[in-house]
Amino acid sequence: MAGTTDTVAAAKRAAGYQAAEMVEDGMVIGLGTGSSVFYTIESLSGRIRDGISVAGVPTSYQTAMRAREYGIPLTTLDDNPVLDLAIDGADQVDPQFRMIKGRGAALTREKCVAAAAFRFIVVVDEAKMVPRLTGIVPVETLPFATKTAMAQLRGLGCRPFIREAVKKDGPVITDNGNFILDCQFEEIADPEALEAAIAAIPGVIESGLFTRFQKNTTVIIGKEKKCSVLTSADVVP
Ligand code: 5RP
């Protein structure tokens, strides 16, 4: 059963705070996007005030603004192409640590940052843990080729919709200047194959399917009072 807003926020806070404890002095880390990572930023800010030295690569304008507000020094993948760890949220995580991300439209930078990190720390509340990935897969597309990409995505068995902005008329424009397609799938039988097939479509920048991070992923599942921590040893084959 889905939790109340307060219990979900408490679970995200517990997970986000626990992730902040995994950051060590001198680390360069990836900072994901969303409400769960916001709590990591908040907690990290206290640890920096207490004396640890950390730099973060933000995955969105929102995260960059929050990190600056909370006193977290920022850097870039140009200056730090290898990260000690990346901390991010997710929308769904299956028992093999395959994920769907991108509710916040930051999926492309999130995937680049996760791929640059030795460890990928995923912070979620319990409701995000699912037996199988299903439903909407966000896909970032070049506006120039969005219509043609939509036709090819339909061929993969989904119904793609251009994501509409809320406080702006027209489509959501990502931090990279592109569109987001929310691709509604009835079933995702083979997430790895689907991620590869979507990536092969001309005009697709990235999809929110993250299927290749099992080996270096730690999932922190927030609960109201404490968290469960799963690592690759817990992946169900
Ligand atoms: C943004 C994302 C987020 O990490 C994901 O949607 C989870 O967000 P939240 O922690 O707010 O539930 O992928 O693009």
CATH of the domain at 177: 3.30.70.260
By residue range, what is the domain housing residue 144?
135-207
How many CA atoms within 13 Å lie on the side-chain side of 108?
A: 18
* CA 162 – CA 126 distance, rounded (Å): 29
Q: Is 138 in the pocket of ligand 1 (CB under 6 A)?
A: no
Which residues are annotated as catalytic? 110
Q: Measure 100 CA to ligand 1 centroid, in angstroms.
A: 9
One-letter amino acid at 46 equals G
Tokens of 158: 């989904």
| Contact present, 68 and 74 (Cβ < 8 Å) | yes
Residues 7 and 96 in one domain: yes
> Regarding predicted confidence, which is higher, 234 or 198?
198
pLDDT band at 1 (very low <50, low <70, confident <90, very high): very low
Tokens of 194: 């689907």
Ligand 1 site-directed mutation target among 103, 113, 182, most atoms within 8 Å of CB: 103
Q: Enter the pTM of the model.
A: 0.96
The phi-psi region of residue 129 (left if phi > 0; otherwise alpha if psi is between -120 and 50; otherwise beta) is beta
What is the rounded average pLDDT for all residues in the chain?
Answer: 96
Chain position carrying tokens 């043609």: 148
Residues 15 and 104 in one domain: yes
Q: Is 101 in the pocket of ligand 1 (CB under 6 A)?
A: yes
pLDDT band at 173 (very low <50, low <70, confident <90, very high): very high
Residues 20 and 84 in one domain: yes
Q: What is residue 23's predicted lDDT score, i.e. its pLDDT?
A: 98
